[in-house]
Amino acid sequence: MRRALLFITEHRRTVSLFMTLFLSVSMMLLGESSKTHFARAVSTAVFNTGRFTFSWGIYILDLWHENKRLRLQNLELSDQINYSNTAIRENERLRRLLGFRQHLSMKDSVIVATIVGRDVDRIVNTLIVNVGERDGVKKNMAVVTAEGLVGKVYENYRSSSSVQILTDVNSRVSAYVENTDILGIVSWRGGTNLMMYGLLRQKIPKKGERVYTTGVGGVFPPGLLIGTVEERSDSGIELYASVYVKPAVDFSQIQEVFILKGSERSEVWDDGEGTGVFKRPETQ
């Protein structure tokens, strides 16, 4: 093969002459129909070769535009999917809130509020809601979601309020474990979980058991879900035992809350404003 290519290269003029003579003689010997067919085949091959040679740049440019169009379409579809997923989650959340509100008794009327801000830099860890005094909000009203207890109203203004959440170092809640006589105090001491302490060593709740408010102290109504028992936290030295409690509410995902009217018990507890009879307990 190499020798043939070398021969053609060295005698290209002679080879070209003989090929031209061969084609000419072949065309003379062919009939009219065969000549036409042969000419069409040759012209088609030459045309296709030229078209591919000169149109590959245009073809690549078309591919680039098509790729760009498909990428934009993919982004639009992804955005629509994200919007649909967000709408589904919001619908589920609102359904839970509606179901929870329907299960509340008529005397426990509520104020629906939306979270508009978070204030974690202050001494008190709070959420800011878009309702205040003009909406009937008062200090120490209990704040809940469909999942469970959030906290209580810490400060209220005319059109907004701050809510002290359970994951605040100053928060204290009197609590009990479901279907038992185990009582204790729930507070936050850092991390993602709460701690229930003051438990007798003979009565340690099991993992997964739910913890509710007792209503003792008058800050929170009884029966509000606080969370579930995670694990025991006991050094073996202290007189009383304690357990970690996973909050029922994900405080980073809260968007709407219910403020329970009447839960502040202003006719009983004195908040330093000349109302009520007794000083509010410090354990709550």
Low-confidence ranges of the chain (pLDDT < 50): 105-107, 276-277, 283-284
Nearest-angstrom CA–CA distance, 256 and 261: 16
Q: What pLDDT, on a 0 to 100 scale, did the predictor assign at position 180?
A: 86
Cross-strand pairs, 149: 144
The torsion region of residue 198 among left (phi > 0), alpha (psi -120 to 50) and beta comes to left
Please give the pLDDT value at position 106: 42
Contact 172, 164 (CB under 8 A): no
Domains of the chain, each with CATH number or no CATH: 2-57 (no CATH), 110-279 (2.40.10.350)
Confidence at residue 195, expressed as pLDDT on a 0 to 100 scale: 92
- Phi–psi pair at 218, nearest 5 degrees: 80, 5
Give the contacts of 30 (CB within 8 A, at least 6 positions apart): 38
What pLDDT shows up at residue 19? 73
Longest dimension (CA), the chain: 127
Q: What single letter denotes the amino acid at residue 201?
A: R
Distances in Å between the Cα of 283 and the Cα atoms of 105, 186, 212, 220 are 27, 10, 16, 12
pLDDT at residue 277, rounded to an integer:
43
| Geometric angle at alpha carbon 149, from 143 and 153, rounded to 5° | 25
Read off the pLDDT of residues 105-158 as tens digits, 9 standing for 90 and up. Answer: 444 578 888 889 887 666 778 899 999 999 989 888 889 888 889 999 998 899
pLDDT of residue 244: 92
Could you tell me the pTM of the whole model? Answer: 0.60
